[in-house]
Amino acid sequence: MPDPIALIDCNNFYVSCERVFDQKLVGIPVVVLSNNDGCAVARSEEAKVLGIKMAQPLFQFRDKARDHGIRLLSSNYTLYGDMSRRVVDAIGQFSPVYEVYSIDETFVDLGGFGDRYLKQASEMRSTVRELTGIPTCVGIPSKTRIGNGLC
């Protein structure tokens, strides 16, 4: 069996970054808007439940945002880039072999851990959360399943 490769994915990354620095945003619906505040580029779980779609133009949900108290934030790509680097630094403590896939996703080689790879994946999630404040999920694909998931 090939060595397990994990995909660690930051949950609602832009919203999570904003929440690290503004705890008042935790538990309320939040939408991060694109450049020039044109459309939704990240949504909290609370905003998703209210029906806000990814890439939905603001003009289509402005009334809903007002009626439901959805916090609308302009994107801060400098912050998100810095937080992404911090997440990758935390992941690097678990394996010297990793590949940044996107600003919020990283593949991690968990070979060498044997049967302990799920424990390592769980510890990686905990460490990323502790060091950065960012919640994550880890998927570990296999031949017989789409993946073992830790969220």
Which residues lie closer than 8 Å to 129 by C-beta, 6 or more apart? 135, 136
| pLDDT tens-digit readout, 109-148 | 988 877 888 888 899 999 999 999 999 999 887 544 455 5
**pTM for this entry:** 0.90
5: closest CA among 85, 95, 92?
95
Residue by residue, pLDDT tens for the chain (151 residues) are 577 889 999 999 999 999 999 999 999 999 999 999 999 999 999 999 999 999 999 999 999 999 999 999 999 999 999 999 999 999 999 888 999 999 999 999 988 877 888 888 899 999 999 999 999 999 887 544 455 566 7
Between CA 92 and CA 33 the distance in angstroms is 30
Reported as type and span, the H/E element at residue 109 is strand 105-109
DSSP 136: E
